[in-house]
């Protein structure tokens, strides 16, 4: 899919961006979101955006550029670009959501080891 090089009027750009954000917000669960993303983006686009988020998360966790570069197969330039964005409100919120999910999963795992599934009330 080729993106047009013509510039959109700023108000139309804002309106369609808001519509995309609303569609994403209205998806009921991660399964619906995955279906949407897989169908809407090309494999390359989805991998690119997923890697950017992973780079941001790993930078926040203190991983080195070389570790990120080797594991995610991204360039130093990509890591540097994402590094500049890590403290922006949107990316900070996304990372906070990932960390909250990670925390919840860790506690659910700990609780399930203490209280077997069949014995919960």
Domains of the chain, residue spans = 28-116
The pLDDT, as a whole number, for residue 2 is 62
Those residues of the chain that have pLDDT short of 70 are 1-4, 116-121
Q: Which of 16, 20, 79 has its CA nearest to residue 53?
A: 79
The pLDDT, as a whole number, for residue 16 is 97
CA pair distance 97, 59, nearest whole angstrom: 15
Domain 28-116 fold is 1.10.1270
Q: Which of 89, 93, 65, 90 has its CA nearest to residue 79?
A: 65
42 token code pair: 């090309």
Q: How far is CA 11 from CA 8, 16, 105, in A?
A: 8, 9, 41
Q: What is the pTM assigned to this prediction?
A: 0.79
């Amino acid at each position: 899919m080729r993106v047009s090089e013509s510039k959109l009027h700023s108000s139309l750009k804002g309106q369609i961006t808001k519509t995309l954000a609303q569609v994403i917000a209205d998806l009921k669960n991660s399964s619906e979101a995955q279906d949407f993303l897989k169908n809407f983006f090309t494999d390359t686009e989805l991998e690119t955006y997923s890697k950017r988020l992973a780079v941001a998360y790993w930078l926040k966790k203190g991983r080195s550029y070389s570790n990120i570069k080797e594991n995610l197969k991204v360039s130093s330039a990509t890591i540097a670009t994402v590094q500049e964005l890590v403290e922006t409100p949107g990316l900070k919120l996304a990372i906070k959501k990932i960390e909250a999910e990670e925390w919840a999963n860790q506690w659910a795992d700990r609780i399930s080891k203490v209280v077997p599934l069949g014995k919960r009330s």
